Amino acid sequence: MDGIDLQDEHQAANSAKVTTSGSSDGAYRVLARKYRPSSFEDLYGQEPMVQTLQNAFETGRIAQAWMLTGVRGVGKTTTARILARGLNYEVPGEIDKPTIHLDKPGTHCQAIMEGRHVDVIEMDAASHTGIDDIREITEAARYRPASARYKVYIIDEVHMLSKSAFNGLLKTLEEPPEHVKFIFATTEIRKVPVTVLSRCQRFDLRRIESSTLVSLLQEISGKEGIEISDEALALIARAGEGSARDSLSLLDQAIAHGAGRIAADEVRQMLGLADRSRVIDLFEHVMRGDIASSLDELKAQYEVGADPAVVLSDLADFTHLVTRLKAVPKSGDEASVTESERVRGREFAEKLTMRILSRTWQILLKGINEVQTAPKPLAAADMVLVRLCYASDLPDPEEALKLLKSGKFSPASGGAPTGNAPQGGGGSTASAVSSGRGSAPQLRTVAGGQAMAQAVGVAPQTAPQMRRAEELHEKIAIRSWQEVAQLAARMKDIPVKVSVERALRLVNFQPGRIEVQPTEIATADAAGELGRKLTEWTGRRWIVAVSRDQGRPTIHEEKEANQRQLVSDAHSDPEIVKLIAAFPGAKVVDVRILKQEEDIPFETASEVTDIDPTDSIDFTEDF
C-alpha cells in the first residue's frame, strides 16, 4: 500500500519499532494519515467506482461533477484527492491526459495529495455554509487553472451548505467551464437537494468488509514491525464497522496499549469487550434455558469490567453468526470469524431452528435498547436473559396449534405438553442437559422434529377461546362506512377511529373492498392499517385501497355540516328568535336532538308555542 510520502513509507517499512516511524521531521503521524491511499489501486473495497472511472477516462466521457457518499472513514476525501490527481495527472514526456493508472509520481501529484495545490481547492462546507462562500467559487471558476489541466473544487460535507448556497451553485454546476470539475463528499446524502444530485455522477462508497480490513491491518502491522494475533486483528476489524480510518485508529491505540506486542485479551480489554468464548458460553446457557447459569455468567463478566449492553450486543452478533452459518455454511470461512466462533457456531447452527434464532435476535434487539436506557443496566440485562431463557423453549404459534389439535398440549396443565417430561418451576419444563465446554447443547426434539430445549408455555388460545373468537367474527358484518367507525369504537382502537372519521374520505364501499381518499392529516399507511384491522376484527379479508378520485366528505366533516345546519335552522325558528331577543347578546352555539325526537322534523318543533323541556339548546350570553 503506497503512502503519501515516499520517504515516510521507506522509513516505516524498515522500522523495527513503532516509535521510530514518523515523518521526515521526526513528528509522529497517526497510521490513518501515514498509510492514506494515494492511487486507485490502494482503495480497498471500491472496485465498482474504480471500474466506472477507468472506462470514463479511457473513452473521454469525463463528468463535470461527482458526488461521493458513504459512512465515516471509508475514504471520501481521500478518493476525491485521488480523483483530482487522476484528472491532472502529468508525467513530462510520457503521460499528459486524465488516467486512473498513477504508477509514477506526476508533476502535481504530491501537492494535490497533501491538499496544497493552487488549482485543487478544498472547502469544508461545515465552516463555509453561506452564499458568500459559494459566490467566491462561482466567480473564480471563470478563470483558467494556473498550472494544472483542470481547476478542481472539492467540497467536503456538502450537505451542510445553506439553501441559498445550494441555489447559488446550481447554474455553475449545471454548465461549468470546460476547465472546472466539482467533487462533493457527504455522509448525509438525503440532505443534499435533488437538483444538485441530478447534476452529479453519484458514487456510494461501500463499507469495507471485515476480511478486507483484517488484511489491511495485517499488512500495516507488518510494515510497523508489530506482532499482533489474528484474533486481535479480527476484534479491531469488527469494532471498526467497515471504516478503514476507525480501524487504523484502533490499531494505533492497540499498539500504544500493547507496547509492540498485541494479544486478543489486551484488545478486548481496551475495547471493553467480554471474552468471546465466554459470550458463546452465555449463548449456550440461554439456549438451554438455564437461567441460573446465564445470570451467573453475566455477573462474572460484569465484575471483570464488561458493559452489560456490550455483552448483549456480542450475544446478538453471535446469534447473527449462527444464523448465517445455518443459512450459508461457507460464511464461517471469513477471516473475521475466529476458530472458536466457527467451530461452536456450526454446532449450534446444526441443532437450532431458524425460528428460534429469529426469536432470539428480536428479543436481543429490543433488550439492548432497554439496557442502554435503563437506570440499572445490569438488572435490565438480567431481565433480558430471563426473557431469553423462557422464550428459548417456547413453541411458535404454528407448533402450539399442532400440539393443541393433536391433544399433546394441555391448557389445564399450564400449557405444558402431555407426556413424561419433568416439570420445572415457573410453568416450564427443565430438561437435564449436560455438555462440556465447546460443545453445543443437546436439544430435545418436539413437535415433528423441531429442535428446542423444551416445548413449554401457554398456548396462544385455548379451544373455547378460539370458538368464541370465530363466533364473534361471524356476528360482525360491516355494511357501511359509518359502521367501520362504530366497529373501531367498539374495539376501543382510537387511532383507527380517528383515522376513519377525520383522515379518510370514502370513494367506494363494497363488502371486502373499500376505496378511500386520504386527507392532509392522514398517515402514510392509514389505508393499509385499516385493512389489517378490519381483517383481524371481522375474520375475513378486507382490502382498503387509495383512490385518486374525489371522495365524499369525511364523517367528521359531515357531522360538522349537519350541526351548522341545525344551528342555522334554530336561528330561523320564531320561538328561538323571541328567546334570543329577550336576552340581549345571547346566541345559539349548539343544538342537540334527543333520541326520542330524532325522527321528528325540526319544523314540527317550531310550531310549539312553548319551549319543550326535552329540547336541549345551549346559549351563550355576552355581558
**Cα 275 from chain centre:** 27
CATH of the domain at 285: 1.20.272.10
pTM: 0.51
Residue 608: strand, helix, or coil: coil
Give the per-residue pLDDT at 367: 92
Evaluate whether 170 touches 131 at the Cβ level (below 8 Å): no
Residues 88 and 130 in one domain: yes
Give the per-residue pLDDT at 144: 93
Residue 334: strand, helix, or coil: coil
Residues 288 and 383 in one domain: yes
Reading the block at residue 238, the C-alpha cell is 469488527
Q: Residue 456 falls within a domain, yes or no? A: no
Compute φ and ψ for 587, nearest 5 degrees.
-150, 160
Q: What is the mean pLDDT of residues 590-618?
A: 50
Residues 61 and 148 in one domain: yes
pLDDT higher than threshold 50 for residue 296? yes
pLDDT higher than threshold 70 for residue 596? no
Evaluate whether 430 touches 444 at the Cβ level (below 8 Å): no
Q: What is the mean pLDDT of residues 85-111?
A: 89
Question: Which of 495, 411, 423, 421 lies closest to 459, judged by CA?
Answer: 411
**Cα 131 from chain centre:** 34
Buried b / exposed e over 563-602, threshold 16 CB at 10 Å, is: eeebbebbeebebbeebbeeeeeeebeebeeeeeeeeeee
Residues 342 and 489 in one domain: no
Give the integer Cα–Cα distance in Å for 504 and 515.
10
Q: What is the mean pLDDT of residues 485-505?
A: 88
**Cα 450 from chain centre:** 31
State the average pLDDT for the chain. 78
pLDDT higher than threshold 50 for residue 453? no
Find the radius of gyration of the CA atoms of the chain: 36
Pick the more confident residue, 396 or 59.
Answer: 59
Give the per-residue pLDDT at 20: 33
Question: Which of 340, 336, 364 lies closest to 238, judged by CA?
Answer: 336
pLDDT higher than threshold 60 for residue 489? yes
Kind plus residue range of the DSSP H or E element containing 589: strand 586-592
Reading the block at residue 349, the C-alpha cell is 447452527
* Beta-carbon-side half-sphere exposure of residue 246 (alpha carbons within 13 Å): 17
CATH of the domain at 195: 3.40.50.300
CATH of the domain at 501: 3.30.300
Question: Which of 548, 496, 543 lies closest to 522, judged by CA?
Answer: 496
pLDDT higher than threshold 60 for residue 379? yes
Q: Residue 412 falls within a domain, yes or no? A: no
Q: Residue 41 falls within a domain, yes or no? A: no
Give the per-residue pLDDT at 300: 87
Residue 512's pLDDT band, with cuts at 50, 70 and 90, is confident
Q: Which residue has the cell 494479544?
A: 263
Question: Which of 76, 64, 177, 175 lies closest to 122, judged by CA?
Answer: 76
Pick the more confident residue, 3 or 122.
Answer: 122
Residue 606's pLDDT band, with cuts at 50, 70 and 90, is very low
Give the per-residue pLDDT at 268: 77
Pick the more confident residue, 475 or 36.
Answer: 36
Give the per-residue pLDDT at 608: 37
The interaxial angle of helices 526-538 and 481-490, nearest 10 deg, is 70
Tell me: the pLDDT tens digits for 219-267?
898 888 888 888 888 888 888 878 888 889 888 888 887 766 788 878 8
Kind plus residue range of the DSSP H or E element containing 446: strand 444-446
* Domain end residue (candidates: 348, 372, 391): 391
Kind plus residue range of the DSSP H or E element containing 617: strand 616-621
CB-based contacts of 315, cutoff 8 Å, min separation 6:
279, 282, 283, 286, 364
Q: Which of 49-58, 196-205, 450-459, 464-473 is predicted with the least confidence, judged by mean pLDDT?
A: 450-459
Using CA of residue 273, residue 277, residue 281, residue 284, what is the dihedral sign?
positive
Give the per-residue pLDDT at 145: 92
Q: Residue 407 falls within a domain, yes or no? A: no
pLDDT higher than threshold 50 for residue 445? no
Amino acid at 20: T
Compute φ and ψ for 432, nearest 5 degrees.
-80, 110
Q: What is the mean pLDDT of residues 459-476?
A: 48
Q: Which residue has the cell 470469524?
A: 337
Q: What is the mean pLDDT of residues 76-84?
A: 91
pLDDT higher than threshold 50 for residue 282? yes
Q: 3-state secondary structure string, 245-279?
A: HHHHHHHHHHHHHHCCEECHHHHHHHHCCCCHHHH
Tell me: the pLDDT tens digits for 312-352?
998 999 999 999 999 888 877 776 677 778 888 888 998 88
Q: Which of 92-101, 287-296, 312-321, 596-605 is predicted with the least confidence, judged by mean pLDDT?
A: 596-605
Reading the block at residue 556, the C-alpha cell is 367528521
Q: What is the mean pLDDT of residues 22-41?
A: 76
Give the per-residue pLDDT at 607: 40
Residues 77 and 194 in one domain: yes
Amino acid at 336: S
Q: Residue 420 falls within a domain, yes or no? A: no
The interaxial angle of helices 555-572 and 574-582, nearest 10 deg, is 80
Residues 312 and 333 in one domain: yes
Look up the domain containing 593 and give its range: 556-621
Residue 288: strand, helix, or coil: helix
The interaxial angle of helices 210-224 and 6-13, nearest 10 deg, is 80
Q: Which of 9-13, 388-392, 530-534, 536-540 is predicted with the least confidence, judged by mean pLDDT?
A: 9-13
Q: What is the mean pLDDT of residues 67-75?
A: 88
Residues 227 and 168 in one domain: no
DSSP state letter for 22 = S
Pick the more confident residue, 602 or 517.
Answer: 517
Residues 52 and 196 in one domain: yes
Evaluate whether 184 touches 198 at the Cβ level (below 8 Å): no
Pick the more confident residue, 376 or 438.
Answer: 376
Residues 153 and 104 in one domain: yes
Give the per-residue pLDDT at 594: 67
Compute φ and ψ for 513, nearest 5 degrees.
-145, 130
Q: Are strands 180-186 and 65-69 parallel, antiparallel or unpaired?
A: parallel
pLDDT higher than threshold 70 for residue 17? no
Question: Which of 507, 574, 580 lies closest to 544, judged by CA?
Answer: 507
Residues 344 and 252 in one domain: no
Q: Are strands 450-452 and 201-204 parallel, antiparallel or unpaired?
A: unpaired
Say how many C-beta atoms besides its own lie within 10 A of residue 413's C-beta.
11
Distances in Å between the Cα of 16 and the Cα atoms of 12, 252, 573 are 8, 16, 104
Evaluate whether 576 touches 607 at the Cβ level (below 8 Å): no
Residue 393's pLDDT band, with cuts at 50, 70 and 90, is low
Residue 421's pLDDT band, with cuts at 50, 70 and 90, is very low
Q: Residue 430 falls within a domain, yes or no? A: no
Q: Which of 25-39, 195-209, 351-365, 439-453 is predicted with the least confidence, judged by mean pLDDT?
A: 439-453
Give the integer Cα–Cα distance in Å for 175 and 199.
9
Give the per-residue pLDDT at 19: 33
Q: Which of 177-186, 217-226, 293-302, 393-402 is predicted with the least confidence, judged by mean pLDDT?
A: 393-402
pLDDT higher than threshold 50 for residue 566? yes
Q: Which residue has the cell 396443565?
A: 413
Residues 301 and 267 in one domain: no
Residues 191 and 51 in one domain: yes
Distances in Å between the Cα of 601 and the Cα atoms of 348, 535, 563, 571, 604 are 76, 39, 15, 16, 6
Domain count of the fold of the chain = 5
Q: What share of the chain is helix, strand, coil (3-state, %, to 5)?
A: 50, 10, 35
CB-based contacts of 568, cutoff 8 Å, min separation 6:
none
Tell me: the pLDDT tens digits for 257-269?
776 678 887 887 7
Give the per-residue pLDDT at 82: 92
Q: Residue 408 falls within a domain, yes or no? A: no
User: Which neighbouring-strand residues pair with 444?
Assistant: 452
CB-based contacts of 365, cutoff 8 Å, min separation 6:
316
* Domain end residue (candidates: 519, 552, 585): 552
Reading the block at residue 15, the C-alpha cell is 522500522
pLDDT higher than threshold 70 for residue 537? yes
Q: Residue 452 falls within a domain, yes or no? A: no
CATH of the domain at 230: 1.10.8.60
Give the integer Cα–Cα distance in Å for 235 and 267.
7
Q: Which of 214-228, 260-274, 407-421 is predicted with the least confidence, judged by mean pLDDT?
A: 407-421
